[in-house]
Amino acid sequence: MIKKVSSKKKKDLVRAIKNPNRYFKLDFGRYGGEVAMGEITKAQYDYWIEKGHDEFSEYMSQLGFDMHAANKDIPKEAQFDREFYEYNDICHLSGPELAGSQTLTISECDKDGHSIQDEDGNFIQDKMIDVDDFKKYKIKTECVGDHHTGSSSCKDKYFMFGQYFNKGGWYTEEIITTDHKGLDLKKLKINYENADGFRVFYDIQYDGYDYYLQEDSTGKSSAFYVMAGESLLW
């Protein structure tokens, strides 16, 4: 008895013969930004921790426009002489945030990145996955850097935290090529760093290969503050 082959399997077979390779783009939205953490002096810390977050944020924002004016009435030992992202000996990150509010969009395309149609002439729909569902789809995530008052990178230092918070999208510029079976979600992995609770990544791995992300976003807000490592507070 000859076993019947389903119409779906027939379509998949035809597709595999005609197109042995398939192509995909990844896009992350909607929030992310740039964050830097760097060591400062005890004098800088003492002065600005007393002034408070709001005054320090205003000072750092002004510093980016007119450093001389920003430092006019600040004691020399408490002054900063460059913008926040240049204080980066602890970490400097830029990319989407790994948080529950984020969505990964997977788009199938041709080898040139253009939208494609299926055998029936319909455009292939994007697949959207919330970050909270990554475990369900066996998408791997790993923290490769942890930076906070108790971490080894910060616990013995006075340091500042600076952040630009952006809204938009981050996408793989290089197209991901697979075999005819398509994208295997279990081969996706995101390595991120945790900057005082702000989890940021700048690339995604597929099957062990790094795909770097390009940014298309606009600035929404900023945050600046000074902190002391745990070992300095006892």
At a CB cut-off of 8 Å and minimum separation 6, what does 219 contact? 33, 164, 165, 166
Tell me if 163 sits within 8 A of 35, measured CB to CB: yes
pLDDT digits (tens, 9 = 90+) for 19-64: 689 999 999 999 999 999 999 999 999 999 999 999 999 999 999 8
Tell me if 142 sits within 8 A of 189, measured CB to CB: yes
> Would the pLDDT of 5 be above 60?
no
Q: What is the pLDDT of residue 228?
A: 97
Tokens 């697979």 belong to: 178
For the chain, the structural domain boundaries read 21-232
Tell me if 120 sits within 8 A of 166, measured CB to CB: no
Tell me if 118 sits within 8 A of 126, measured CB to CB: no
pLDDT digits (tens, 9 = 90+) for 161-194: 999 999 999 999 999 999 999 999 999 999 999 9
Distance CA 75, CA 71 (A): 8
pLDDT digits (tens, 9 = 90+) for 118-134: 777 677 889 999 999 99
Q: What is the pLDDT of residue 100?
A: 86
Instruction: Quote the Cα angle for 225-229-233, to 5°.
Output: 105
Distances (CA, A) of 21 to 123, 132, 182, 211: 18, 30, 8, 18
